[in-house]
Structure 1
Amino acid sequence: MTFTTIDGNRLFHTDEGPAGGGDGTLLLVHGEACDSHDWSAQTGAFAARHRVIVPDLRGHGRSTGLSGGMRPRDFVSDLVELLHVLDTGPVTVVGHSLGAVVASVLAVEHPELVRAVIAVEPAYGFAAEFAPPLAAAFRVPDPVEVAAAVLGGLEGTGAEPGADALRVWHRRRVLGMDPMTVRDVFHGLFDEAAAALTVRPGVESYLARRSCPVLSLSAGDSLKAKGIDGDWEESLSLHPYSVSVVLDGVGHWMHQERPSEINALVLGWLHGLPAPRPERKTDTRG
């Protein structure tokens, strides 16, 4: 079964890997105006030892977006139901960009469902002055062109094999999306109501509520543009197994530009991930 109807929308997803879940279940969550194809270089490598669930968020890819909103909590609501339908138990959520915001909301507001978070180039940590003009830029008749321009400037230096093909792919995918979906997704990240999830300083207290281990993978240029460094993320991830890794010479889609390197980093971190703590039972004897 590759479609599940949730909140009036048909959510496309794949479910691969060893029977019984192997070394744990991974939920891979793509970014804004993207789809699950973004994880093509990860799915097979991860599924060798893990159960791997890869959805298209509502309004993206093959999933419909006919009802409900397009904010991070709306996507989380869908994923909570999907995890229950698939009977996954706690998962490690691997999120890119918007997907990292979604992963963090899932970890904060549904901690029983999340074993760990892996945030790849997360769409949070922006300075307060960055968000309002970006949100305003999408209040135009053709927000798709704005999104194509924004996302089209986030690849790496071009030295990586296939970098030009990635640029073409990213642009053409955005151009095929519904304009109002694109507008609402970006507003859901950068308008005033989104500040607590994406913009400093409000997001700092929110991220500090993640009690699970967090692996953060960020491009050095992205952190410079935000005015932070790897220590910022690590200071907000309070679990002792959390770590922040900064890579130079790579763009926003690092998992596509350097898949072997990113896969090795993720799988190595997962190999040492502490076992979940057993639930504390209450003694009801009289």
Structure 2
Amino acid sequence: MFLEVSGGAKLFYTDDGSGDPPLLLVHGWGADSQQWAPHLPALTERHRVLAPDLRGHGYSSAPPDGNTPAAMAEDLAALLTRLGVDDCVAVGHSMGAVIVSRLAVEHPHLVRALVTIDPGYGYPDEVARLSLGLLPGLRGDDPGSAAARIDRWCYTPASPAWLREWHRRRLLATPPHVLAEAFEALWSGPEALGARPAADAYLSRRECPVLSFWASPAQAAWEEPLLKHPASRVVCWPGSGHRLHEERPAEFVVVLTDWLRSLQ
């Protein structure tokens, strides 16, 4: 299904299952909603599940500009409102975690709880500097190869080869200007949350319960004091890659659904 949102962007999304609370599944940079295919059968047994392709990704349209996490959060607010979803549990991976966090801060009435998966926020300054140094490659003669090189950090020796190849192909299918614009907005500018201390100040404004998954113990320890709601929880899976929910889909669903039950 498709829905037109702000700026003429047209979002592709699926709407499956039933049950409360509804879930909004938000993919990361250079991916699309197909990354939730391993999780959807189990999640739709108990919940209504919305899985959109972000603007510029997957089957959604790619505007010539405005392809930033802030704009994507507004797209999702429009999607929820148009579909009559009063509130949801917003689940986001990497850049998607930035987007759902923005949704929770700017539109708190729409987000009952958050689930963030190896979020693309709150990294030390040196990581931000290194990341911005990769931006010229995304705007160069071979942006697909540049994006694939960036993607290599997402894996460990335990990461399956099929997962690496699936995401390489998704990156190659994403318009280069979208990759560059979204990547830059994560690390630079007034809305960037990729680095501290901007992330600390903004994320502290999240009032709802948060379940946060990290592969890095250091990042998990950094975020935990920022979580205000007493039902919030940080889960750390050392040894996993950046896409830990895809590497360990069944375990991810068990932890997620157990936490959702605890909220009730």
Structure-1 separation of matches of 2:29 and 2:190: 17
What secondary structure sits across from 2:119 in the alignment? coil
- Quick one: structure 1 residues 229 and 74, their matched pair in 2 at CA, closer, same or farther if it must change by over 3 Å? closer
Letter in 2 for 1:4: L
Pick one of 91, 94, 98 that aligns with 1:97: 94
**Which residue number in structure 2 is paired with residue 76 of structure 1?**
73
Letter in 2 for 1:37: Q
Pick one of 163, 175, 191 that aligns with 1:178: 175
Letter in 2 for 1:246: C
1:128 Cα deviation (Å)? 1.4
**Which residue number in structure 1 is paired with residue 59 of structure 2?**
62
Structure-2 separation of matches of 1:84 and 1:270: 23
Pick one of 202, 207, 214 that aligns with 1:211: 207
Q: How many residues align?
A: 260
**Which residue number in structure 2 is paired with residue 16 of structure 1?**
16
TM-score (norm 1): 0.87
What secondary structure sits across from 1:119 in the alignment? strand
Matches within 5 A, 1:44-59: 44-59=41-56
**Which residue number in structure 2 is paired with residue 253 of structure 1?**
243
1:67 Cα deviation (Å)? 4.9
With 108-117 and 176-185 compared, the bigger mean Cα shift is at 176-185
**Which residue number in structure 2 is paired with residue 151 of structure 1?**
151
Deviations 1:229-286 (A, max 9, x none): 4232121010000010100221111111111111100000011114xxxxxxxxxxxx
1:68 Cα deviation (Å)? 4.5
Does 1:136 pair with 2:133? yes
What secondary structure sits across from 1:70 in the alignment? coil
Which structure 1 segments of 5+ residues have no match?
275-286
Letter in 1 for 2:180: R
Structure-1 separation of matches of 2:111 and 2:65: 24
Which structure 2 segments of 5+ residues have no match?
none
Structure-1 separation of matches of 2:223 and 2:130: 24
**Which residue number in structure 2 is paired with residue 231 of structure 1?**
221
- Quick one: structure 1 residues 133 and 143, their matched pair in 2 at CA, closer, same or farther if it must change by over 3 Å? farther
Considering only CA atoms, is the larger Rg found in Structure 1 or Structure 2? 1
**Which residue number in structure 1 is paired with residue 255 of structure 2?**
265
TM-score (norm 2): 0.94
Does 1:30 pair with 2:20? no
Structure-2 separation of matches of 1:249 and 1:206: 29
1:139 Cα deviation (Å)? 1.9
What secondary structure sits across from 1:272 in the alignment? helix
Deviations 1:20-46 (A, max 9, x none): xx1210000000011001111111111
Identity over aligned residues, as a percent? 42
